[in-house]
Amino acid sequence: MGKKKLRPFSGQQNASILSNSYPRFFIVKRVSPNKDTFHGVSPFLVEKSISDTVGEVKSIKKLRSGDLLVEVASSKQSQQILKLKSMSSIPVSVSPHETLNTSKGVITCGELFNVPLDEITEKLQSQGVSHVRRITIRRDGQLLNTKHLVLTFSSHVLPEYVKAGYMRLSVRP
């Protein structure tokens, strides 16, 4: 038999995920009247101006659109990059990436079948849940609700479980 896997007590694991929950991915766009992108800008200039203001970041990638995708390493860098208004003489705007900073998981619970989705969202918000959607199936031309819920978390890390009242529900990817 193998070693027993040590898990944190009760709510410790979820609390540690919430404390590490900050936007890690950002989109940096050039602000110009004639829709310029970073295609013609020196990568050395971009790297130097970001590292001078924010520090050493995890990664910088140029997207097909010409914008930059920046992954930061800490919450301090996350706050600093949002304040970035220009790279040397190039005006820029910075915003958190819409989808890379979230994760989705599925829970199954028959007890939540008759509970409204907005109440579930409100009660699970303290655990990092930002949106709840119920999975539906079509039978004989009618949409039927199921006991499965898709939870959107405001962290890129999916927790192992959530606590819905007294119940501990495992989260599946």
Query: What per-residue confidence (pLDDT) applies to 22?
Result: 86
Beta bridge mates, 137:
144
Domain 25-96, architecture per CATH: 2-Layer Sandwich (3.30)
What kind and span of H or E run contains 41?
none
Q: Where in the chain is the domain with CATH 3.30.70.330?
A: 25-96
CA 99/CA 77 separation, integer angstroms = 19
CA 142/CA 56 separation, integer angstroms = 54
**Total residues found in the chain within this entry:** 173
* 3-class DSSP state of 6: coil
Q: What are the Cα distances from residue 111, in Å, to 107, 118, 131, 148?
A: 12, 15, 19, 11
DSSP state of 131: E
DSSP-assigned states of every residue in 11-57: THHHHHHHHT----EEEEEE--TT---GGGS-HHHHHHHHHHHT-S-
Q: Are 56 and 120 in contact (CB under 8 A)?
A: no
The pLDDT profile of the chain, 173 residues, written as one tens digit per residue, is: 555 555 555 444 454 445 567 899 999 999 988 888 888 889 999 999 999 989 999 999 999 999 999 999 999 999 999 999 988 888 999 999 999 999 999 999 999 999 999 999 999 999 999 999 999 999 999 999 999 999 999 998 999 999 999 999 999 99
CA 81/CA 55 separation, integer angstroms = 9
